[in-house]
Structure 1
């Protein structure tokens, strides 16, 4: 597991290089350059058995233990969907891949890591004690690139798009919002109105998007744990979104981090990076999809939390939990 207090990206930033360049510096020693194509990587990973899948952004890390089964290819969007590992993959951002084998204080660590064009990590896979380590060498050889020492081409990291809203289109936005029948229609709608997600939330206002105090993420996770409500947690970056569906149990504070430390599922979220939080309601054919969404100061999406719509009781309990979360104004005036 990556230590949430000191990540490879943090070390790379201190050195003034990308994380991919940090890894590439160990080529021929602990790292092997591999193909970054998910159509090649995902089927090969099934041979490793139970592993840990990690996806992160600047402010949040999600880790799930399971098997890389049930892969569906797609030119623009691919996916793995099974009970343990649930991924949405965007292949255009899978640019550089490495297999890393490194001796640590805890023993040999073997991991597959994929990076985007800026050298930022898109997705990582870690072998565990129960993994099929005997298959590792064959998987690496299958994915290994012929050219091992070509320096990675790094392009500047794209800045996060700031909130883009059009207050003059508020009535039209709300009218279009009322017509939604699927959550996937939302971003299509905002693009059509020349807005983005955060900008639309700011413009629409309650009851479509109710702004909450940043501290409610702690409350949300604690209440979900206390009441055993199953939830969905989405954490991602431009190249991959990883999803947890199920209960959360052990909630632990560690400095600026709020953590879920459960068997098979870890979440590490930097509370001090949370600048805006919204409770959002979008109508679907199966009922209202109610989410709590956290953004950083640049407007980047940190994480999304949903109820489980297919479980009517859980969906109702989630709706009640979110309704009880204090708005930003209430938090300020309390």
Structure 2
């Protein structure tokens, strides 16, 4: 077993890889992204409080920024202002017009304020990581952001820690699909009784299943397996038909939501990209292993979603029809989902 890289060695490796993204460098060096940033503490990087109750209200003062939440398979970027923060011990929310987040504070463990020189000028960001050092949420300042508010935020939230090394925990693997075919009838019976989509995961937990495990045994009319190619088909139909959607991408610590339409789609290698002025999505289409059309009853009518999973069973994204008053795309979305290509001759996995 080789000795871990020292902070000085990490800095030297980063400086030798000009132009590469920190995440990619960290992967090459077999360290976490948080460990890489920590090595630059005092050299453009300041350790700050990772508490969302402090960080989110402070972010409201920055003006227009870009919010980024990612997994290994999808990067979700929204331009807007933070606001409407609702704290919570187990779950918190940001409910602003453009930036819509669900936050799980126990996974906000390390945070940094970063200033990095680039060809376009000084790039400022706030970056939050989980216990394993994986990115939870990032905020990037833009040309119109308030630099004075940035300086005040860093001074207010700085922890005073000056060590250029952090301890990280072992990364937790995604939970494998978990189901119990013997309970399939109970699952279907209870599924019909749902009145809110948030009740679904509680049902799964009660039956000792998880989301994908339940989908694999539920069958019609609750779920329909779709072909992986249905992801691109869906995005193109949303764009072409002007359907407004809610698109969720999340990790253990943060879920970020886009509400609205899609304008520009562009494929680049394995990446399928939405490239719109206030919203970008970068999706690794080659990671998509299973896609499901799902219908859950609610008090406002059926909630229809398209959900994609990777080969480890991790959720990549969920898409619902937007159901805001005066902007109800749910009927059009339901028809769109009905038109998507099914997985030929698919059998529920036991």
- TM-score, scaled to structure 1: 0.95
1:316 aligns with 2:331: yes
Task: Choose which of 251, 271, 276 in structure 1 pairs with 2:290.
Answer: 276
**Counterpart in 1 of 2:341?**
326
Q: Where does residue 253 of structure 1 map in the other structure?
A: 267
CA RMSD of aligned residues (A): 1.4
Map of 2:255 onto structure 1: 241
SS of the counterpart of 1:224?
A: helix
1:176 aligns with 2:186: no
- List 4+ stretches of structure 1 deviating above 6 A: none
Please report how far the alpha carbon of residue 136 of structure 1 lies from its aligned counterpart in structure 2 after TM superposition.
1.4
Q: Tell me if structure 1 keeps the 8 A contact 2:40–2:164.
A: no
Q: More displaced, 14-23 or 131-140?
A: 131-140
The more displaced of 144-153 and 58-67 is 144-153
Q: 1:230 aligns with which of 244, 247, 258?
A: 244
In the aligned structure 2, how far is the partner of 1:329 from the partner of 1:168?
A: 25
Flag the 1:160–1:270 CA change in 2: closer, same or farther, 3 A: same
Q: Tell me the equivalent position of 2:30.
A: 16
Q: Partners of 1:310 and 1:69 in 2: how far apart?
A: 19
Q: Does the alignment pair 1:306 with 2:300? A: no
Partner SS state of residue 328, structure 1: coil
Mapped partners of 2:331, 2:174: distance in 1 = 34
Identify the residue that residue 63 of structure 2 maps to in structure 1: 49
Give the conservation status (yes or no) of the 8 Å contact 1:59–1:273.
yes
SS in 2 for 1:170: helix
Instruction: Tell me by how many angstroms 1:54 deviates.
Output: 0.2
Separation in 2, partners of 1:313, 1:144:
44
Report 1:1-334 matches (<5 A): 7-149=21-163, 151-310=165-324, 313-329=328-344
The unaligned stretches of length 5 or more in structure 1 are none
Number of matched pairs: 327
How far is the alpha carbon of 1:207 from its aligned partner?
1.8
Contact 1:98 1:114 in 2 (8 A): yes
Q: Deviation of residue 14 (structure 1)?
A: 1.0
TM-score normalised by L of structure 2? 0.91
* Distance of 2:198 and 2:76 partners within structure 1: 22
> Could you list the per-position Cα deviations for residues 242-278 of structure 1 after superposition, in whole angstroms to 9, with x for gaps in the alignment?
0000111111111111111111110110000000000
Hey, what's the Cα distance between the residues in 1 that align with 2:318 and 2:223? 13
Distance change in 2, residues 1:310/1:136 (3 Å): closer
1:186 and 1:249 mapped to 2: Cα distance?
A: 32
